[in-house]
A and B are shown apart, each in its own frame.
Chain A
Amino acid sequence: MLMYLARRTLLMIPTLLIISLLIFLIIKLPPGDYLTNQIAELRAQGETNAMERAEFLRTQYALDRSILEQYAIWMGFIPGPNGFSGLLQGDWGWSFEYNRPVGELIGDRLLMTAVINFFTILFIYIVAFPIGVYSATRQYSWGDYGFTLFGYIGLATPNFLLALVMLYYANIWFGVSIGGLVDPELIDAPWGWEKIQSMMIHMIVPVIVIGTSGTASMIRRLRANLLDELQKQYVTTARAKGLPPLRLLIKYPIRMALNPFIADIGNLLPSVVSGSVIVSVVMSLPTAGPMLLGALQSLDQYLAGSFLMFLALLTVVGMLISDVLLALLDPRIRLTGGQAK
């Protein structure tokens, strides 16, 4: 297994390096930078020393260097104006818009995002698993049709629309305040039981909204996979030999049908961070998504770059976890597509 891990990890490191370069180049693609926009604003306001100030800031943040040099400074490969201080040294850079270190800025946001994501993934698995199994074992029943319809509605409904509808009814029926993750009067309050309780209540709507489409697609995949397994000969043999249906289901086909759950971890981790951007904007959630959107719009390159790098890291680590789990769960040969050595 360690040999597998070593070989698999080797693919991960160059991937991350290439992704970091692509992220930086893409962020730098739009003409100008954050400071150029700021200078234009300062000039419009009649500030006379805007150019001098801009030059000072450009030198301070190495924006006067070439793109590759800026990339190398951001990564920590070469010393910048403040010496070696890049991602490799644990320095996420400086946010021009918020005028604060990126690491300090995104800490709370990432924590909130992680909490919401954790509950969303839990929601997806808890809802999708029993429904998927029921739909497959009771194929073409009324229940199966009902859940299939629910699945298609979940896939087809835009998240932001569902968010608006649920926010409205949560407010009307349960008195939950609109937007945010806690009641407005508790935003600046220190963490305590009351604030945690308020956060848990406010989290129900975003978790359902973000999790609905993921749940729907997971149900469809689990159903299809389990149906394939249930039609195999070993299931017929086990039934013929008198194995109780539930025991047969749990012991063999479900284990095989679990593969999409595990294979999906790699896609699930980043998609619940980046995929919830619009929902977070609509629901005013203090998560990473809206801040990433703002950073991209204002060309706040280090903030946007660090966020995107974090998403890339989540994707690559998620893929690694799912691959390792799949290798443990399903060590069968595939004869399609290639050969074993």
Chain B
Amino acid sequence: MTRLYYPLSRLWPDYLRAVAGLVICLGLVLFTALQSVIFALLVGLSLLFAWLGAMTLWRQQVGIELDASGVVRRNLWCERLGLGRWGLGRAVALRWLKVRAVDLRYYSTRRDRSEGWLQLTIEAEGGTLRVDSNLIGFPSLVEMAFAAAERNGVAIGETSRLNAGRVRAIQGNQP
């Protein structure tokens, strides 16, 4: 079994973005008049950056277990804190034999589409798993998911295929 995780070294830029966004938006909120459009806009943007921070925190505590039978996403902090009793941080376990859909999309904030990230979505009986390419071991997960989809006769989009073929090229020799 291989354990995959998001290292802090790859997450801190997102923490920085969330903090910077919150500081700028909440800083500007101080100058705006209540009940104005700009106030509502800035509060909305602040929530967006708070969500980015929360998602980054959530990614930091996620642990992925990968083996020949399937993939499991555990919420390690929730398990440690015993939040499972209240239905929080439930693990998602997907078996390769039950994979229904695989999608691999690329996102970049640059106009020339360079320096972006990939997002892999695996749908199977038992839930949906969504991970991005900051995950250590992402190429292995992509390979296994696509292999499972092909074995199960699942149709994979042209874009996903193209992106999958280039994962290794852009990720170096990462496991």
Chain A interface residues (CB < 8 Å from chain B): 2-11, 13-14, 75-77, 84, 86-90, 234, 323, 327, 330-341
Contact = CB atoms under 8 A, between A and B. Distances in A.
Given A339-B170, A340-B117, A2 B38 contact: no
Contact of B115 (A14, A86, A89, A341): A341
A94 B49 CA distance: 34
B48 A341 contact: no
Nearest to A13: B24
A286 B8 CA distance: 56
Contact of A334 (B36, B108, B158): B108
B94 to A, nearest CB: 22
B14 to A, nearest CB: 8
B38 A88 contact: yes
B17 A7 contact: yes
Given A10-B17, A13-B25, A338-B115, A331 B105 contact: yes
Nearest to B160: A331
In this complex, the member of B52, B55, B107 whose beta carbon has the largest number of chain A beta carbons within 10 angstroms is B107
Contact of A341 (B28, B117, B163, B169): B117
Question: For this complex, into which size category does the number of interface residues on chain B fall?
Answer: 35 or more
In this complex, the member of B33, B36, B163 whose beta carbon has the largest number of chain A beta carbons within 10 angstroms is B33
Contact of B20 (A10, A75, A327): A10
A77 B110 CA distance: 31
B109 A77 contact: no
B37 A332 contact: no
A196 B155 CA distance: 52
Interface string B156-175: 00110011001001110000
Given A84-B31, A340-B170, A6 B112 contact: no
B76 interface: no
B3 interface: no
Nearest to B103: A331
B38 A90 contact: yes
Contacts of B24: 13-14
Given A331-B106, A338-B115, A9 B21 contact: yes
B31 A331 contact: no
A10 B49 contact: yes
A76 B118 CA distance: 40
Contacts of B12: none
B17 A6 contact: yes
Contacts of A6: 17-18, 21, 48-49, 51-52
A340 B105 CA distance: 12
Nearest to A14: B24
A331 B107 contact: yes
Contacts of B110: 338
Interface in B117-163: 117-118, 132-134, 158-159, 162-163
18 contacts: A3-B52, A4-B107, A10-B17, A10-B20, A10-B21, A13-B24, A88-B31, A89-B32, A89-B38, A90-B32, A332-B163, A333-B170, A335-B166, A337-B112, A338-B112, A339-B115, A340-B117, A340-B133
In this complex, the member of A14, A77, A341 whose beta carbon has the largest number of chain B beta carbons within 10 angstroms is A341
Given A331-B159, A333-B106, A90 B33 contact: yes
A336 B114 contact: yes
Nearest to A5: B48
